[in-house]
Amino acid sequence: MRRFGWVGAAALAVALPWLPFLPPFWITLANYIGIASVVAIGLVVLTGVGGMTSFGQASFMGFGAYTTAILSTQWGISPWLTLPASLAVAGIAAWLIGQVTLRLSGHYLAVGTIAWSVALYYTFANLDFFGRNDGISGIPPLAIGGFRFIDPRATFAVVWIGVLASVLATRNLLDSRAGRAIRALSGGSVAAASFGVNTARARSLAFVHAAVLAGFAGWLYAHMQRSVNPTPFGLNASIEYLLMAVVGGAAHIPGAIIGAALVTVVNDQLQDLLPRLLGQSGNFETIVFGIVLVATLQAAPRGIWPLLARARPRHRDIQPDAPPLPHRALPTPNLTGGEVLDVRGLSKNFGGLAAVSDLGFTLASGEIVGLIGPNGAGKSTTFNLLTGVAEPSGGEIRFLGRSLAGLPARAIARLGIARSFQHVKLVPAMPVIENVAIGAHLRGHAGAIAALLRLDRAEEARLFAESARQLARVGLAEHADRPATELALGQQRIVEIARALALDPVALLLDEPAAGLRHAEKQALATLLRQLRADGVAVLLVEHDMDFVMTLADRLVVMDFGTRLAEGRPHDVRENPAVIEAYLGAPG
Ligand code: ADP
Ligand code: MG
C-alpha cells in the first residue's frame, strides 16, 4: 500500500468497475463486500485486537442506516450532511451501551451483546418511528451536483473509497498510543493497568470505533439500497460479520476484507444452490456458516490471512534525535531513613489463607532490597498489593510520603512504581519495542482523535526513542521488531524490565527477573541493577538465585508464610538460625 499509495488505490476504486468485461452482478456483489468489510474492520479492533466478542455489530449498522433514512426522507437533509449524524448516533449509542455491557468479560460480554442486539432488532421492527417491519423507503441516493450515484459502478467508487478510509483510520488508531492501550488488553488487563492504561476507557474506545465504522457501513447501505428494514441489522447479520472477521483473521485488517469477500460470495452462491439441492427453501446457508466457523476455528484458529501472509515484522524507524521525554526527579539517594516506600502491618487474606500477614519493611532510593522466601511465602502477593493490583486486607503502604490506600493500579503507576511479573505479561504478538512503549504510556498524552488525524507523530517519535533507549539499556536492541513471544522466556523477563524502565520509575519492583537467564545474562542484569541503584532508583527484588541476590542486595527481607521472618544485611540474614531453618537449608 505504501508504494502504491492511498490516492492510487482511490483512483482504482473509481476506474475499476468501468472496465468493459466486468459483469454488473459482480460489481453489485463487490459493493456489498465493501460495506461488509467496513463492519468487519471494526471487529478487527474490537474482537481481534481488543479481545471482545460482539454479536451486535449489525445493530450499530442499523443506527447509522436509520439515522440517515429518517433525516433524509423526513427532514430532506442531504445524505452528505447526515453522515456525521449517522456516525455520531452509532458512536454515542455504543458508548452508552458500552458503559453497561463492557463491565462483563469473556463469554458474559458476548451474551450481553446478543441481548441488546435482539432488543434493538425488535425496537426497529416494532416502532412506527422506524417504519416497523416495512422499514423506510424512498431514501435518496448519494449525489454530487447533478450526478446521482445509482449505477452500481458509481456506487463502487463511494463504497471502496469508504473502505480505504476505514482502513486508514483503523491503521492510524492501532498504530498510536491509544491503539497500544487497546492492544495492551490482550496482554492481560493487570499488566496494562500497571502501566497506567485506563483499561475501561481502552475497551470503550475499541467498542466505539467499531460501532462508528458499523454506523458508516449502515449509512452507505441505506443510500445504496435506498430503503432500510430491520432484517439486515438483526442477530443473524451480526453473526455473519463476526464470521467474516474470524474467518479472515480477526486481528488483521486485510483479513477483514478477505473474510467479508469470502462470506458474501459463498452466502450468495449458497442461497441459490442449497434450496435447489435440498428441494425446499429456507435459510440453510446459516447452518453451513455455523459449520464453516467451527471448521475454521479448528483448522486455522487465527483465520486465513496469517496463512497467506507470513507475518514479516515491520521495521519501525526510530528517531534517536527526537527530543527526550521529561525525566522524573528522583529523591536523593539516602540510606538513612529517606524511604520512598514504607510498608506497615500489611496483610492480605484469600479466604482463610493469610498470604501476607503483618508485613513491614522500607525501601529507600538508591537501594536494592531483596525480598526472599520459599515458594508461597507471599512475595508476589506483596508486589500485587504494592502496585494496586490487589487490595490489602489491612495495613498501610506509604509511597513518597502518601498513602496508597484505595488508589487503582494506574494511579500508583503514575506516582512512579513500575514492576515486572513473575509470570511474563507481555502482549504476545506485538513487537518488543511496542511492548516497551506501553511502559511509557503515562509519559504521552495523545488521544484517539489525534491518532486518527496523525497529529501524534512527534509525541510517538519521542515515546519510541525512549523505548529504544531502554531496550538498548537492557541489551535487547537487536530484537526490537520481533514479536515478544519469539524471544526466550528469560529475554521476555528482560523486556519486562525495559518496559518498567520506560515508565521512568522511582521504585522498580522485579519479580524473579533472573529466572531462566544464562550466567552472562545474569551478570549483565546485575550490572544494570547496580547502575539503576547508582542513579537513585529504589529496587525491590524477588529472586530465588541466592548468589545473585546476596551479592546485589543492600538489605534482605525474608518472608515465610506471609510474615517477615528476618530483615537485615545479607551477611547477617545468612547467619540467622530461623532463616536457615525456613529457607536456606543447613549451613554449608
Ligand atoms: P510467592 O510469590 O512468595 O511464591 P505468592 O504471593 O504467589 O507467593 O502466594 C502466596 C500464597 O497466596 C500462596 O499460598 C498462594 O497459593 C496464595 N495466593 C496467591 N494469589 C492468590 C489468589 N489470587 N487467590 C488465592 N490464593 C492466592
Ligand atoms: Mg511469586
Q: What is the pLDDT of residues 555-567, one digit of tens each?
A: 999 999 999 988 9
Judge contact between 361 and 329, C-beta under 8 A.
Answer: no
Expressed in angstroms and rounded, the spacing between residue 386 Cα and the centre of ligand 1 is 15
Nearest atom in ligand 1 to the alpha carbon of residue 351 is 25
Grouping H, G, I as helix, E, B as strand and the rest as coil, residue 565 is strand
pLDDT interval class at 312 (50, 70, 90): low
Euclidean distance between CA atoms 544 and 446, whole angstroms: 40
| pLDDT above 80: residue 290 | no
Average pLDDT, the chain: 91
- The 10s digit of each residue's pLDDT in 68-88 is 999 999 999 999 999 999 999
> How far is residue 482's CA from residue 463's CA, in Å, rounded to a whole number?
18
Q: Please report which ligand is nearest the Cα atom of 562.
A: 1
Probe ligand 1: pick from 347, 348, 349, 353, max atoms within 8 Å of CB? 353
- Cβ proximity of 197 and 441 under 8 Å: yes
Please tell me the predicted confidence (pLDDT) of residue 260. Answer: 95
Q: What is the CATH number of domain 39-267+277-308?
A: 1.10.3470
Q: From the CA of 356, which ligand is nearest? A: 1
Specify the range with the lowest mean pLDDT, choosing from 267-281, 317-331, 371-385, 549-563: 267-281
Whether the CB-CB separation of 245 and 76 falls below 8 Å is answered with: no
In the structure grid, which three cell numbers stand for residue 440, read together?
Answer: 511509557
- For ligand 1, the distance from its centroid to the CA atom of residue 382, given in whole angstroms, is 9
- Residue whose CA lies nearest to ligand 1 atom number 23: 350
From the CA of 203, how far away is ligand 1's center (Å)? 29
pLDDT at position 91:
97
Which of 350, 544, 560, 565 for mutating ligand 1's site (highest number of atoms within 8 Å of CB)?
A: 350
Task: Please report the atom of ligand 1 found closest to the CA of residue 562.
Answer: 10
Task: Tell me the C-alpha to C-alpha distance, in Å, between residue 420 and each of 101, 426, 470, 511.
Answer: 31, 10, 14, 6
Of 277 and 402, the structure prediction assigns the larger pLDDT to: 402
Residue 335 is predicted with a pLDDT of 47
Higher pLDDT among residues 137 and 278, named by residue? 137
What is the distance of C-alpha 31 from the center of its chain?
30
- Domain locations along the chain: 39-267+277-308, 339-584
Q: What is the pLDDT of residue 586?
A: 45
Terminal CA-to-CA distance of the chain, rounded, Å?
66
Residue to substitute in 190, 349, 379, 381 for testing ligand 1 pocket (most ligand atoms within 8 angstroms of CB): 381
**Set of cell numbers at residue 327:** 525525566
State whether residue 100 is helix, strand or coil: helix
Q: Which residues contact 212 (CB under 8 A, 6 or more apart)?
A: 42, 60, 87, 90, 91, 94
Average pLDDT over residues 80-108: 92
Task: List residues near ligand 1 (CB under 6 A).
Answer: 350, 353, 355, 373, 375-381
pLDDT at 507 over 50: yes
Helix (H), strand (E), coil (C) string for 467-502? HHHHHHHCCCHHHCCCEHHHCCHHHHHHHHHHHHHC
- How far is residue 398's CA from residue 383's CA, in Å, rounded to a whole number? 14
Task: State in Å: Cα 579 to ligand 1 middle.
Answer: 20
Q: Which amino acid residue places its CA nearest to atom 5 of ligand 1? A: 378
Q: Say whether domain 339-584 belongs to CATH 3.40.50.300.
A: yes
| CB neighbour burial string for 461-479, b if at least 16 within 10 angstroms, e if fewer | bbbbbbbbbbbebbbbbeb
Provide the pLDDT for residue 588: 38
Residue 424 alpha carbon to ligand 2 centre in Å = 12
CA distance 586 to 574: 11
Residue 452 binned pLDDT confidence (cut-offs 50, 70, 90)? very high
> What pTM was estimated for this model as a whole?
0.91
Q: Is pLDDT above 60 for 584? A: no
pLDDT in tens, 334-368: 544 568 999 999 999 999 899 999 999 999 999 99
Whether residue 247 is predicted with pLDDT greater than 60 in this model: the reply is yes
In this prediction, residues 530-550 reach a mean pLDDT of 93
Could you tell me the distance, in angstroms and rounded to a whole number, from the CA of residue 339 to the centre of ligand 1? 27
Report the separation in Å between the CA atom of 549 and the middle of ligand 2, taken as the mean of its atom positions.
Answer: 15
Residue 453 has pLDDT above 60, yes or no: yes
Distance 485 CA to ligand 2 centre (A): 21
Write the residue with the smallest CA distance to atom 24 of ligand 1: 350
- Ligand 1 atom closest to the Cα of residue 422 is 2
pLDDT value at position 188? 84
Q: Which atom of ligand 1 is nearest to the CA of 377?
A: 3
In this structure, which amino acid lies at residue 239? I
pLDDT tens, residue by residue, 358-413: 999 999 999 999 999 999 999 999 999 999 999 999 999 999 989 999 999 999 99
Residue 288 has pLDDT above 70, yes or no: yes
